[in-house]
């Protein structure tokens, strides 16, 4: 190979690399007409017998000539375990009608009520196509579908990117739309309706739906030979049924803070306290700013990401994520990861409803709409085999801890656990290969 | 908001003309781990977990979803 050939090859490789900053990873000559696969097996387990998830995912990509590529991904999840219902803890056992309306479950005295009837299987399929549109433009389009026992999702997205400045800068714009149908076990509760005895379905209606529209504006910039930056602005508008059909609030005494007792009708099982289903607004607009940077210090690579999100439910959140990929020898690496997340509560978040007071229009005791922070600490280990395939193992620990605003704590509630901390282990095995 | 973004983008774009590298200086950026979309499956899995446990989603890409978990 003479000098000219070497230069041509270098320029060809560099040209391909330039395209790496666009929507899709480019096909190099050697990769064209080849399938590449990423597979993963994940276990997510919360402490105290709460949610357990086993998930298998396979994503396939085929590169064609002229930097066109097809991506297909498949995921299957099985979820089991118990999930906090939103009701407050009490010094006496509490009995609830299960979401199906056909049985009851009882929470022991002193415990934060968990609904243990929670189990689901989810399948998701998505496909996307990426191709150059003109010399400096790349277009990408995708479709997604997922189904669960009580939920069905259909989505589509389209984005366009243009390169500038010798492809050191990329601007992109995208739009996504989705339509989700919700068909909860036992029906969708009427917002703020009271939980009724087994067999009485008058507080439930049939299925419901929501749609979500997302807009994304992106900016990618090569800052130097070792550093690349991406910044995104996104806007998301959800409309329709935005409640969690399985979340409730306790109706409590204004002085003691204890749940108002209730006696089921004669001969039937039913709740032993007054509980109401949550009510969220039927629209939500979110905006977020996201920035990430990758920097190579020789062989090690540092990845930093930050996101600010704000919405019209008055939730603000900040997310910081740091990863450092550290090579071990020529074929392996270890990557410690640390993530910090903090959010403020939704304006309609309430630990409980107070008996005798007019019902608010919106109320939810879902802890995920509360005030909390979360830390994820973990490490990933990866190894590239002689044939170029890569396997990896990731172990993470997720810790969420929150609190109920002091002015919302009434009487005896102060002596009980109000906001159950959540601790989860995440274990993931990955294998990437080519055919 | 959109106008501010457009102006910011335009300013950034002109400012960025002096940033960046020549095509033959792409050696480090060409490494697979330097791609911003490297390990997309890990990122999708993370997005799905956090989407179902927290009130925020998206940012890096589209808002996620397609799950009754939130």
Residue-wise pLDDT for A41-59, tens only, equals 999 999 988 999 999 999 9
Distance, in Å, from the CA atom of A192 to the CA atom of A360, rounded to the nearest integer, reads 9
Chain B nearest CA to A4, separation (Å): 14
- Six-digit token pair at B44? 């999708």
Q: Does residue B14 sit at the A interface (CB-CB below 8 Å)?
A: no
Q: pTM, whole model, 2 decimals?
A: 0.89
Across residues A323-334, what is the average pLDDT? Answer: 96
pLDDT > 70 fraction of chain A, expressed in percent and rounded: 92
Domain ranges of chain A: 3-434
CB A320 within 8 A of CB A342: no
Could you tell me the CA-to-CA distances from A227 to A20, A233, A350 in Å, in that order? 13, 21, 45
Q: What is the pLDDT of residue B3?
A: 64
Q: Does residue B3 sit at the A interface (CB-CB below 8 Å)?
A: no
Q: How many CB atoms lie within 10 A of CB A134?
A: 8
Between residues 37 and 76 of chain A, which touch chain B (CB distance below 8 Å)?
Answer: 38-40, 42, 44, 55, 57, 59, 73
Nearest-CB residue to A426 (from B29, B49, B55): B49
Alpha-carbon Rg for chain B in angstroms: 17
SS (H, E, C) A181-243: EECCCCCEECCCCECCCCCCCCCEECCEEEEEEEEEEEEEEEEECCEEEEEEEEEEEEEECCC
Query: Strands A353-354, A248-252: parallel, antiparallel or unpaired by DSSP?
Result: parallel
Query: How far, rounded to the nearest angstrom, does the alpha carbon of residue A239 sit from its chain's CA centroid?
Result: 18
Across residues A113-120, what is the average pLDDT? Answer: 83
A150 vs B54: CB contact, 8 Å cut-off? no
Chain B nearest CA to A106, separation (Å): 23
Across residues A343-347, what is the average pLDDT? Answer: 97
Q: Does residue B15 sit at the A interface (CB-CB below 8 Å)?
A: no
Q: How many CB atoms lie within 10 A of CB A25?
A: 24
State the sign of the Cα–Cα–Cα–Cα dihedral A254, A85, A319, A340: positive
Chain B nearest CA to A289, separation (Å): 6
CB A381 within 8 A of CB A333: yes
Residues A158-190: b if buried by 16+ CB within 10 A, e if exposed: ebbbbbbbebbbbbbebebebebbbbbbbbbbe
Report DSSP state, residue A89.
P
Chain B nearest CA to A217, separation (Å): 9
CB A313 within 8 A of CB A344: no
Residue A389, Cβ density class (10 Å: 0-12 exposed, 13-18 middle, ≥19 buried): middle
pLDDT for B14-50, tens place per residue? Answer: 665 678 899 999 999 999 999 999 999 999 999 999 9
pLDDT > 90 fraction of chain A, expressed in percent and rounded: 80
Could you tell me the CA-to-CA distances from A164 to A120, A219, A225, A315, A330 in Å, in that order? 46, 11, 17, 36, 35
pLDDT for A123-149, tens place per residue? Answer: 999 999 999 998 999 999 999 999 998
pLDDT at A310 over 60: yes
Distance, in Å, from the CA atom of A331 to the CA atom of A146, rounded to the nearest integer, reads 37
pLDDT for A249-304, tens place per residue? Answer: 999 999 999 999 999 998 899 999 999 999 999 999 999 999 999 999 999 999 99
pLDDT for A179-235, tens place per residue? Answer: 999 998 888 999 999 999 999 988 888 889 999 999 999 999 999 999 999 999 999
SS (H, E, C) A17-81: HHHCCCCCCCCCCCCCCEEEEEEEEEEEEECCCECEEEEEEEEEEEECHHHCEEEEEEEEEEEEE
- Six-digit token pair at A59? 């994503």
Report DSSP state, residue A360.
P
Which candidate, B13, B46, B28, places its Cα nearest to that of A231?
Answer: B13
Residue bearing tokens 């998505």: A126
Distance, in Å, from the CA atom of B10 to the CA atom of B20, rounded to the nearest integer, reads 17
Higher pLDDT, residue B7 or B47? B47
Q: Does residue A164 sit at the B interface (CB-CB below 8 Å)?
A: yes
N-terminal to C-terminal alpha carbon distance within chain A: 29
Q: Does residue B45 sit at the A interface (CB-CB below 8 Å)?
A: yes
| Class of CATH domain A3-434 | mainly beta
Distance, in Å, from the CA atom of A242 to the CA atom of A87, rounded to the nearest integer, reads 19
Could you tell me the CA-to-CA distances from A131 to A24, A223, A275, B38 in Å, in that order? 9, 25, 54, 18
B56 vs A430: CB contact, 8 Å cut-off? no
pLDDT for A356-373, tens place per residue? Answer: 999 999 999 999 999 999
Distance, in Å, from the CA atom of A114 to the CA atom of A319, rounded to the nearest integer, reads 28
Q: How many CB pairs under 8 A join A and B?
A: 203
Distance, in Å, from the CA atom of A51 to the CA atom of A386, rounded to the nearest integer, reads 39
A216 vs B19: CB contact, 8 Å cut-off? no
CB A75 within 8 A of CB A56: yes
Q: What is the pLDDT of residue B58?
A: 86
Could you tell me the CA-to-CA distances from A146 to A127, A329, B29 in Å, in that order? 12, 41, 35
Between residues 23 and 42 of chain B, which touch chain A (CB distance below 8 Å)?
Answer: 23-31, 33-38, 40-42
Distance, in Å, from the CA atom of A197 to the CA atom of A194, rounded to the nearest integer, reads 10
- Six-digit token pair at A324? 């450092």
């Amino acid at each position: 190979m003479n000098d000219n050939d070497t230069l041509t090859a270098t320029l060809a490789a560099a040209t391909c690399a330039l395209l790496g900053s666009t929507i899709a990873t480019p096909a190099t000559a050697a990769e064209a007409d080849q399938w590449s696969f990423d597979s993963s097996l994940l276990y997510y387990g919360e402490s105290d017998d709460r949610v357990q998830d086993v998930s298998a995912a396979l994503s396939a990509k085929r590169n064609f000539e002229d930097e066109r590529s097809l991506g297909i991904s498949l995921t299957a999840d099985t979820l089991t375990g118990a999930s906090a219902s939103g009701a407050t803890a009490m010094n006496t056992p509490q009995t609830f009608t299960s979401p199906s309306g056909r049985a009851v479950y009882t929470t022991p005295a002193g415990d934060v009520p968990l609904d243990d009837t929670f189990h689901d299987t989810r399948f998701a399929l998505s496909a996307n196509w990426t191709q150059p549109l003109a010399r400096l433009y790349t277009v990408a389009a995708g479709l997604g579908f997922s189904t669960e026992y009580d939920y069905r999702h259909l989505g589509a997205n389209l984005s366009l990117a243009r390169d500038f400045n010798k492809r050191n800068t990329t601007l992109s714009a995208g739009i996504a739309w989705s339509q989700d149908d919700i068909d909860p076990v036992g029906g969708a509760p009427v917002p703020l309706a009271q939980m009724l005895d087994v067999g009485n379905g008058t507080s439930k209606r049939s299925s419901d739906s929501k749609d979500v529209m997302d807009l994304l504006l992106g900016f990618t910039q090569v800052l130097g030979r070792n550093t690349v930056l991406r910044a995104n602005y996104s806007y998301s508008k959800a409309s329709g049924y935005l409640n969690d059909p399985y979340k409730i609030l306790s109706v409590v005494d204004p002085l003691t803070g204890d749940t108002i007792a209730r006696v089921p009708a004669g001969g039937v099982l039913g709740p032993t306290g007054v509980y109401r289903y949550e009510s969220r607004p039927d629209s939500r607009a979110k905006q977020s700013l996201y920035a990430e940077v990758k920097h190579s210090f020789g062989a090690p690579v540092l990845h930093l990401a930050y996101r600010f999100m704000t919405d019209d439910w008055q939730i603000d959140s900040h997310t910081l994520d740091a990863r450092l990929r550290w090579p071990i020898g020529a074929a392996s690496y270890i990557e410690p990861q640390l993530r910090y997340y903090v959010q403020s509560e939704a304006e309609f978040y309430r630990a409980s409803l107070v008996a005798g007071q007019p019902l608010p229009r919106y109320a939810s005791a879902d802890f995920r709409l509360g005030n909390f922070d979360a830390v994820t600490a973990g490490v990933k280990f990866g190894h590239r085999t002689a044939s170029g395939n890569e396997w990896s193992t990731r172990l993470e620990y997720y810790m969420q801890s929150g609190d109920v605003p002091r002015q919302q704590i009434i009487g005896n509630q102060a002596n009980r656990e109000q906001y159950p901390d959540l601790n989860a282990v995440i274990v993931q095995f990955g294998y990437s290969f080519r055919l | 908001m959109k106008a501010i973004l457009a102006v910011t983008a335009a300013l950034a774009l002109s400012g960025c003309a002096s940033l960046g590298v020549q095509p033959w200086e792409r050696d480090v950026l060409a490494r697979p781990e330097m791609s911003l979309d490297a390990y997309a499956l890990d990122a999708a899995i993370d997005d799905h977990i956090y989407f179902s446990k927290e009130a925020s989603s998206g940012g890096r890409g589209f808002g996620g979803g397609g799950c009754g978990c939130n």
